[in-house]
Amino acid sequence: MNFGIVVGVDGSEAGRRALRWAATEAEARGGTVHAVIVWTWDGTGTFAPMATSPDEERERAETVLARDIAPIINDFPTITIAADVIEGRPARELTRAAREADLLAVGSHGHSHLHQAVLGSVSEECVRAATCPVVVVPAARAEAIAKPEALVSAR
């Protein structure tokens, strides 16, 4: 039996950490990774503030995905890594892609401007909607917790 992990990629550091975690887990379990990037076109650009069309936004999503999976393919040559670029709402499309998966991995926070206290909105929605276990990979410690001395000096 093959252990399949779907992982959400969005070009953020947390997304890259989730992808690396998924590859490490797949390698340990003899499984596969399915990297998924979800884009949408609302005129503002998900991956590029200056995207001028849906085609350009999709191309930028493809570029982000290729950039983020390249080091993983290089570092984990023994695992199978599939990749998809999907248009839609991120949480809905990620949980849909993970319907048959053993696990869904996402970063705790991505590029959204509306961060929530503990989880980003996409990761929180995935936890609520997925039909498989969801692993939320936290941001790097320096990103996750502001240093107390930085808070004091900012006043």
* Model pLDDT for residues 101-152, shown as the tens digit of each residue: 999 999 987 554 334 444 468 999 999 999 999 999 987 765 444 444 443 3
Q: Which of 5-9, 31-35, 64-68, 113-117 bottoms out in mean pLDDT, i.e. has the lowest?
A: 113-117
Q: Is the pLDDT of residue 4 over 90?
A: yes
- Specify the DSSP element, H or E, that contains 136: strand 134-137
pLDDT of residue 140: 76
pLDDT of residue 150: 40
Predicted TM-score of the model (pTM)? 0.81
What domains are there in the chain, each with its CATH number?
4-154 (3.40.50.620)
pLDDT of residue 139: 77
DSSP labels for 61-113?
HHHHHHHHHHHHHHH-TTSEEEEEEEES-HHHHHHHHTTT-SEEEEES--S-S
Residue 146, CB-side half-sphere exposure with 13 Å CA sphere: 8
